[in-house]
Amino acid sequence: MNELPGDLLYTNDHEWLRREGDGSVTVGITEHAATSLGDLVYVELPEVGQDVDVGGEMAVVESVKAASDVYAPIAGSIAAVNDDLADDPEKINADPYGDGWIVRMTLSDGLDESELMTPDAYQQMLDELDD
């Protein structure tokens, strides 16, 4: 597994968030999640403009093996979705932190970073999963 990008925040559900300059955040799933799922074959994306609550089902990623929900890590509204995933869901496997992004969200409130994990904290959680 590659080193975690240091500029992202992470969740217990193996999602990542990137803070964009305009106050929005980009969300995807981590390399650990993508690898665990295996080759992705389908991604169900939300509608742009849809409002989501923290922990609400936001997208579904399906691999050859299984379907897995992607939960909203924060409350907000869907500003953009990665339409490229419709034709090429394997972008998530190939580049989970880049081309494999899933949605961009505008936040209802500010970003409470204390609810999220730093790269170090997430790495520690992964290390514990391996034990």
Partner 1 sequence: MGLKTPHYDKHVEAGARVVDFGGWDMPLHYGSQKEEHHAVRQNAGVFDVSHMTIVDLLGERVREFLQYLVANDVSKLKDYGKALYTAMLNEDGGVIDDLIIYYLSDTDYRLVVNAATREKDLAWIRKQAEAFDVRVTERSELAMIAVQGPHARELAAPCIAAEYREAALAMKPFFGMEAGEWFVARTGYTGEDGWEIVMPAADAHAVWDRLLAAGVVPAGLGARDTLRLEAAMNLYGTDMDDTVSPLEAGMEWTVAWEPAGRDFIGRSAIEALRNSPNRQRFVGLLLEDKGVLRNHQKVIVDGVGEGEITSGGFSPTIGRSIALARVPAGDYDRAQVEVRGKLLNVRIVKTPFVRNGQIRIDV
- The footprint of partner 1 (CB under 8 A) covers 38-39, 41-42, 44, 60, 62, 64-67, 86
Residue 76 CA to residue 60 CA, distance in Å, equals 18
Helices H / strands E in the chain, number of each: 4, 9
Residue 52 CA to residue 70 CA, distance in Å, equals 12
Nearer to partner 1, 34 or 103 (CB): 34
Q: Is 28 helix (H, G, I), strand (E, B) or coil?
A: strand
CB of 87 to partner 1, least distance (A): 11
Q: Given CA atoms 46, 49, 55, 56 in this order, what sign does their dihedral have?
A: negative
CB of 40 to partner 1, least distance (A): 10
Nearer to partner 1, 48 or 64 (CB): 64
Nearer to partner 1, 44 or 51 (CB): 44
Nearer to partner 1, 90 or 119 (CB): 90
CB of 41 to partner 1, least distance (A): 4
CB of 66 to partner 1, least distance (A): 8
Q: Which of 106, 93, 83 is nearest to 19 (CA)?
A: 106
